[in-house]
Amino acid sequence: MNKVASYLNQYISGNVFDKDSILDAYSTDRSIFKIKPRFVALPENTKDVSRILTFLNQLALKNYKLPISVRGSGLDKTGADLTNGMLISMEKMNHIKEIDPRSRLVRVEAGVTLGQLNSALALHGLSVSINTHPDHTIGGIIANCQVDSFASKYGGIIKHIERLEIILSNGDRLQTIKINHKKVEQLKSGKTFEGKIYKNIDNLLSEQKQAIAGLSNSSYDSSGYPAITCIKTGKDFDLAPLFLASQGTLGIISEVILRCDVMPAPSRHLLVTFDSISKAIEFLQFSLSLRPAEASIYDMRIFEKSEEYGKKLKFITKKPIDDGFLVVVNFNDGQKKNSKNFSLCLEHLPRRSNFFVEDKENQIYLKELIGALNNYLNSDARGERIGFLDDFYIPADELSSFMDDLARIEKSFKVTLPLFGSFATENYYVRPDIKLEMLMPKKDEDDKAIEPLIISLIRVFNEVILRHKGSFTGGSPEGRSKALVTTPAMGSERRELYRKVKEIFDPNNILNPDIKIGVDQKQVIKSLRTSYDDHIVI
Q: pLDDT tens, 203-214?
A: 999 998 888 887
Check residue 383 and give its pLDDT.
55
Please check the confidence at residue 104 and state whether its pLDDT lies above 80: yes
Write out the residue range of the structural domain in which residue 364 sits. 268-377
Reply yes or no on whether the pLDDT at 316 is more than 90. no
Residue 7 DSSP SS3: helix
Q: How many residues does the chain have?
A: 538
Instruction: Establish if 263 belongs to a structural domain.
Output: no
Cβ–Cβ < 8 Å for 41, 87: yes
**pLDDT > 90? residue 236:** no
Domain count of the fold of the chain? 1
Q: CATH number, domain at 353? A: 3.30.70.2190
pLDDT value of position 213: 81
**Residues in a beta bridge with 174:** 166
Q: Assess if residue 299 is contained within a domain.
A: yes
Higher pLDDT, 233 or 15: 15
Burial class (CB in 10 A: 0-12, 13-18, 19+), 158: middle
Q: Is pLDDT of 351 > 90?
A: no
CA–CA separation, 144 vs 138, rounded Å? 10
Mean pLDDT of 475-482: 95
What backbone torsions phi and psi does residue 23 show, to the nearest 5 degrees?
Answer: -60, -40
**Does residue 478 contact residue 78 with C-beta atoms inside 8 Å?**
yes
Q: For 12, which DSSP code?
A: -
Q: What is the pLDDT of residue 1?
A: 66
As a whole number, mean pLDDT of residues 329-351 equals 93
- The answer on pLDDT for 362 being more than 90 is no
Q: Cα(200)–Cα(261) distance, rounded to whole angstroms?
A: 36
In a domain? residue 392 = no
Confirm whether 12 is domain-assigned: no
Give CA–CA dist 535/5, Å, rounded. 28
Q: Is the pLDDT of residue 444 over 80?
A: no
Q: Sorting pLDDT into bands at 50, 70 and 90, what band is 303?
A: confident
**First-last CA distance in the chain:** 36
In terms of Cα–Cα distance, which of 281, 307, 270, 319 is closest to 419? 281
With bands split at pLDDT 50, 70 and 90, how would you rate the model's confidence at 458?
A: very high
The reply to whether 303 falls in a domain is yes
Is there a domain that residue 241 lies in?
no
Task: Flag whether 291 is in a domain.
Answer: yes
Cα 37 to Cα 10, 25, 58, 386, 481, distances in angstroms: 21, 10, 20, 21, 18
Using alpha carbons, list the distances in angstroms from residue 458 to 185, 233, 430, 455, 485.
46, 37, 12, 5, 8
Output b/e per residue, 296-320; b: 16+ Cβ within 10 A. Answer: bbbbbbbbbbbbeeebebebbeeee
Residue 306 in domain: yes
d(CA 176, CA 387): 32
SS3 annotation, 413-479: HCCCCCEEEECCCCEEEECCCCCHHHHCCEECCCCCEECCHHHHHHHHHHHHHHHCCCECCCCCCCC
- 357 with 342: CB under 8 angstroms? yes
pLDDT at 216: 56
Lowest mean pLDDT among 9-23, 222-236, 444-458: 444-458
Percent of the chain scoring above 70 in pLDDT: 93
Residue 321 vs residue 315, higher pLDDT: 315
Residue 101 CA neighbour count, 13 Å, CB half: 8
Residue 375: pLDDT band (50, 70, 90) is: confident
The C-alpha atoms of residue 296 and residue 422 are separated, in whole angstroms, by: 4
**Span 412-427, average pLDDT:** 94
Look at residue 166 and tell me whether its pLDDT is greater than 60: yes
Q: What is the pLDDT of residue 70?
A: 98
